[in-house]
Amino acid sequence: MTFNELNLIEPITSAIAKEGYETPSQIQVEAIPHILEGRDILGCAQTGTGKTAAFAIPIIQRLYTGIKPAKGRLVRALVLTPTRELAAQVAESFKSYARHAKLKTTVMYGGVGQYPQVRSLKDGADILVATPGRLGDLIDQGHVNLSAVTHFVLDEADRMLDMGFIHDVKKIIDLLCENRQTLLFSATMGKSIMSFANSILTNPVQITITPKVSPLQVIDQSVYLVSKQNKVELLLHLLQDKSVESALVFSRTKHGADKLSTILNDTGINADAIHGDKSQIARQRALSKFASGKTRILVATDVAARGIDIERLPFVFNYDLPNEPESYVHRIGRTGRAGQGGTAISFCDKEEKAYLQTIQKLIKKEIPVALDNPYPASFSLEGPAATPPDPIRKNRSKDGSRNFGKKASSGRSYSGKSGAGKSYNASSHKGRKTKSYSGKTGGRKSQTASR
Ligand code: AMP
């Protein structure tokens, strides 16, 4: 199947050609003809399948060829996404595909001033991409008119529900034309999604895209058993490998992310942190510096990392294991996109043993334990795990202050305050087994965790 066979108009085919797309992806082949016909869609597909173009392209075509509102330029297509980053990416995609179609896209999300967003809408927009929270606020303030919306997309509906946006979403849907086209996309189709979908879709076409190769299958996964105190040293050791050109490092807490980023910078490794306490502008800046290769390491919390789509992200580190096993899958899915291999390295301390077990249960696979570990932990994976720690309380000392990372491991300081300045000494690992863990080799020494 080619894009020509999808009966797309010239302004769109020329924009697609500019993007370098040669053939439509499976979801595009399956969804575009139905959306062009005006059908509702219930799409089960993950990010990375080309789903944005699958809904954006036919919506642009319908807006371009459809009847325009009699007066003014009113929003006719609304896309809701769970996160700011995803909203920004989806809006960029609409702008690219609609570059020759004379349609205007605007975007609204929280964390930045609302004035430019309100102005952009007042100036007239055909397509609005928004997160439900900010859109709800602006609706309450009387800045948004959704009465002309005839195309509505709910993207990543499962995350939207997980993040507690259901009421905002329902409130927004109540304001749309009853006689609209609705497209709902979700990576999973649990009971709550299905019942919500049934309440907003009319006789939808169901499309399910199962990745040919599970993304997890092409990711080289391993786990280092390490004490909490030695995690920083282990990370610094692994980052000596220059083949780790860029990596996303996951931290459980915002404070931990900041602290780790500071430590990395103090040791001469260019790093940035993104988390929910950072302004949207700071997050976008950090993301684009990371995407362009200016920053080598991006330390992120789960929430901040949602929706990150950086092409060819080769390494993901789980500095802390997530307490929800699904987060592990989301996290390591940031690498290994589009069937490309990637490497996911996890650190597991004694308290995280139970997390590792639930992750392995979910992915139905034992993650090999790395042998090239200069900081091997004194515990093994055999025997029952302790009760999983409370992720919040665990990082607080008795007075309630966070104590993440306060305990430096050995005598070697990485505070950056020592007399030696940048005190991490790469050569201190000489003689230790530092076998490459590059995703390319597959020759990394590892063993299957014994139980
Ligand atoms: P998505 O699943 O929408 O997040 O898309 C994932 C990536 O695939 C994005 O970087 C798109 O630019 C890219 N993409 C979408 N459709 C195509 C296509 N037909 N050919 C090549 N790349 C595509």
Using 50, 70 and 90 to split pLDDT, how confident is the model at 443? very low
Question: Is 439 touching ligand 1 by the criterion CB < 6 Å?
Answer: no
- The reply to whether 165 and 244 lie within a common domain is no
Regarding the beta carbon of 333 and ligand 1, being less than 6 Å apart is answered: no
User: 185 and 298, same structural domain?
Assistant: no
Tell me which of 5, 6, 19 to substitute to probe ligand 1's pocket, judged by most ligand atoms within 8 Å of the beta carbon.
Answer: 19
Cβ pair 281, 274 in contact under 8 A: no
Identify the domain boundary among 182, 208, 234.
Answer: 208
- Highest average pLDDT, of 259-273, 411-425, 433-447, comes from 259-273
Q: Is residue 423 part of a domain?
A: no
pLDDT of residue 373: 94
Q: Is the CB of 81 under 6 A from ligand 1?
A: no
Mean pLDDT for the stretch of residues 218-247: 94
Of 178, 208, 238, the residue that ends a domain is 208
Band (226; pLDDT cuts 50, 70, 90): very high
Instruction: Tell me what pLDDT residue 332 has.
Output: 86
Closest CA to ligand 1's atom 22: 21
Residue 402 has pLDDT above 70, yes or no: no
Look at residue 451 and tell me if it is in a domain. no
- Looking from the CA of residue 22, the nearest atom of ligand 1 is 20
Residue 387 binned pLDDT confidence (cut-offs 50, 70, 90): low
CB of residue 49 inside a 6 A radius of ligand 1: yes
CA distance 358 to 354: 6
Atom of ligand 1 nearest to the CA of 3: 19
The β-bridge relationship of strands 219-225 and 127-130 is: unpaired
In the predicted model, is pLDDT for residue 316 greater than 90?
yes
Is residue 22 within 8 Å of residue 6, measured between CB atoms?
Answer: no
In this structure, are 52 and 194 located in the same domain? Answer: yes
Compute, in angstroms, the gap from residue 130 CA to the centroid of ligand 1.
20
How many separate domains does the chain show?
2
Please give the pLDDT value at position 158: 86
Burial class of residue 241, CB neighbours in 10 A (0-12, 13-18, 19+): middle
CB proximity list for 42: less than 8 A, separation 6 or greater: 184, 189, 197, 201, 204, 205, 206, 207
Q: Which of 348, 364, 392 is where one domain is finished?
A: 392
Band (pLDDT 50/70/90 cuts) for residue 447 is: very low
Residue 420: its pLDDT value, please? 30
Does the beta carbon of 89 sit less than 6 angstroms from any atom of ligand 1? no
- The verdict on the CB of residue 256 being under 6 Å from ligand 1 is no
Segment holding 13, helix H or strand E: helix 10-19
User: For the residues 142-159, what does the mean pLDDT come to?
Assistant: 94
Could you tell me if 247 and 368 lie in one domain?
Answer: yes
* Burial class of residue 329 in the structure, from the number of CB atoms within 10 Å of its CB (0-12 exposed, 13-18 middle, 19+ buried): middle
Ligand 1 atom at minimal distance to the Cα of residue 89 = 4
- What single letter denotes the amino acid at residue 230? N
Q: pLDDT tens-digit profile of 280-300?
A: 788 888 988 998 889 999 999
Say if 16 falls within a structural domain. yes
Task: Kindly state if the Cβ of 24 falls inside 6 Å of ligand 1.
Answer: yes
Q: Is residue 291 part of a domain?
A: yes
- pLDDT value at position 20? 92
| pTM of the predicted model as reported, rounded to 2 decimal places | 0.60
Residue 403 lies in a domain: no
**Do 63 and 79 sit in the same domain of this protein?**
yes
Categorize the per-residue pLDDT at 311 as very low, low, confident or very high, splitting at 50, 70 and 90: low
Nearest CA to ligand 1 atom 20: 21
Alpha carbon of 344 to ligand 1 centroid (Å): 23
Domain limits for position 87: 3-208
Q: What are the pLDDT digits (tens) for 339-377?
A: 567 899 999 999 999 999 999 998 888 999 999 999 999
Distance from the alpha carbon of residue 423 to the mean position of ligand 1, in angstroms: 43
CATH code of residue 229: 3.40.50.300
**One domain for residues 224 and 347:** yes
Per the prediction, the chain carries an average pLDDT of: 82
Alpha carbon of 349 to ligand 1 centroid (Å): 37
- Claim to verify: residue 272 and residue 170 sit in the same structural domain: no
Average pLDDT score over residue span 30-36: 97
- 309 Cα nearest atom in ligand 1: 4
On whether both 265 and 169 belong to a single domain, the answer is: no
What's the gap in Å between 51 CA and the centre of ligand 1? 7
In a domain, 112, yes or no: yes
Q: Whose CA is nearest to atom 1 of ligand 1?
A: 50
Domain assignment of residue 397, yes or no: no
Would the pLDDT of 153 be above 80? yes
Q: Is the pLDDT of residue 213 over 90?
A: no
Q: Rounded to a whole number, what is the distance in angstroms from the first to the last CA of the chain? A: 48
Q: Are 287 and 298 in contact (CB under 8 A)?
A: yes
Ligand 1 centroid, distance to 335 Cα (angstroms): 15
Q: 69-117: per-residue pLDDT in tens?
A: 777 789 999 999 998 888 999 999 999 999 999 999 999 999 889 999 9
Whether 342 and 251 map to the same domain: the answer is yes
Q: Are residues 188 and 324 in the same domain?
A: no
Residue 403 has pLDDT above 70, yes or no: no
Atom number in ligand 1 closest to CA 45: 2
Determine, yes or no, domain membership for 319.
yes
Q: How confident is the model at residue 383 (pLDDT cuts 50, 70, 90)?
A: low
Whether residue 203 is found in the same domain as residue 243: no
Residue 47 beta carbon below 6 angstroms from any ligand 1 atom: yes
Any atom of ligand 1 within 6 Å of the Cβ of 48 = yes
In the prediction, which pLDDT does 334 show?
A: 76
Does pLDDT of 148 surpass 90? yes
Please tell me if the CB atom of residue 50 comes closer than 6 angstroms to any atom of ligand 1. yes
Give the percent of the chain with pLDDT over 70: 81
Q: What is the CA radius of gyration of the chain?
A: 24
Name the closest-CA residue to atom 9, ligand 1: 50
Same domain, 87 and 178: yes
